[in-house]
């Protein structure tokens, strides 16, 4: 099975993952990820096209599309989900979602020293807040996703770029920011491997509805006020 995986919850990233259904893990065939958190729309489609060309694949060769559904800022997250939906429609390919924070959780558990206790994954939500989720030492989601101020998080090890940005506030509240992950962002490659492990266990993925956790800043204008006579 060939999966095209997309995540734009923080940076723009895409990956092609191969998975044999009798195996517990998949393999990343190709991937790209930007460092910029504001150029998703410009780089995503060309990046996906380049991955397909590199692997000599056509849209009809993709068996499933998996997209990160956040949490994340509106503009970036919409870019990835809209692209995934458009490709799924054009290629008549099944589409599923997965929480973007699961990508960092997968990286944490795949590391040289996985945590022996519960841990948090946190990314930057802007407005001096973080998106976060709490996981068991085995990677089971226990709480979240949520958006909060850093000093409202549980006093646990914190992995992800949210930890690096708000280190002082987190540590003053009793959390421990893991330095080797203080710049980590969700990537499509890790999200795809997390999705494969879930599928291998017979678990369902999510739908592709975005998890914004906030209302949009853009508001529909109310009725125009009548001019004074």
Q: What is the pLDDT of residue 214?
A: 74
Predicted TM-score (pTM) above 0.95? no
What are 74-94's pLDDT values in tens digits?
A: 988 999 999 999 999 999 999
Tens digit of pLDDT for each residue in 150-208?
Answer: 999 999 999 999 999 999 999 999 999 999 999 999 999 999 999 999 999 999 999 99
Q: Where do the structural domains in the chain lie, given as residue ranges?
A: 2-100+186-200, 101-181
Residue 105: HSE in the Cβ half-sphere, 13 Å Cα cutoff: 29
Residue 98 has pLDDT above 50, yes or no: yes
- Of the candidates 105, 93, 103, 4, the one whose C-alpha atom is nearest the C-alpha of residue 47 is 4
pLDDT of res. 15: 98
Among 75, 1, 89, smallest CA distance to 44 is for: 75
Considering the four listed CATH numbers 3.40.250.10, 3.30.420.40, 3.30.390.50, 3.30.300.90, the one that applies to the domain covering 2-100+186-200 is 3.30.420.40
CATH architecture of 101-181: 2-Layer Sandwich (3.30)
Q: pLDDT grade, residue 21 (50/70/90)?
A: confident
- pLDDT for residue 227 is more than 80: no
């Amino acid at each position: 099975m060939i999966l095209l995986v997309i995540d734009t919850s923080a940076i723009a990233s895409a990956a092609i993952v191969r998975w044999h259904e009798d195996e517990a893990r998949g393999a990343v065939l190709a991937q790209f990820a930007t460092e910029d958190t504001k150029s998703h729309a410009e780089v995503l489609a060309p990046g996906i096209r380049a991955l397909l060309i590199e692997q000599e694949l056509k849209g009809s060769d993709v068996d499933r599309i998996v997209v990160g559904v956040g949490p994340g800022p509106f503009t970036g997250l919409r870019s990835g989900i809209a692209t995934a939906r458009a490709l799924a429609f054009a290629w008549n390919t099944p589409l599923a979602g997965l929480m973007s924070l699961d990508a960092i959780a997968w990286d944490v558990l795949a590391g040289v020293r996985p945590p022996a206790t519960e841990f948090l994954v946190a990314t930057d939500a802007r407005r001096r807040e973080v998106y976060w989720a709490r996981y068991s030492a085995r990677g089971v989601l226990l709480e979240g996703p949520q958006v909060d101020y850093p000093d409202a998080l549980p006093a646990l090890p914190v992995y992800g770029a949210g930890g690096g940005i708000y280190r002082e506030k987190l540590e003053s509240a009793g959390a421990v920011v893991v330095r080797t992950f203080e710049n980590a962002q969700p990537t499509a490659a890790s999200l795809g491997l997390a999705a494969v492990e879930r599928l291998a266990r017979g678990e369902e993925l999510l739908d592709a509805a975005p998890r914004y956790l906030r209302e949009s800043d853009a508001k529909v204008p109310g009725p125009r006020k009548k001019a004074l006579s």
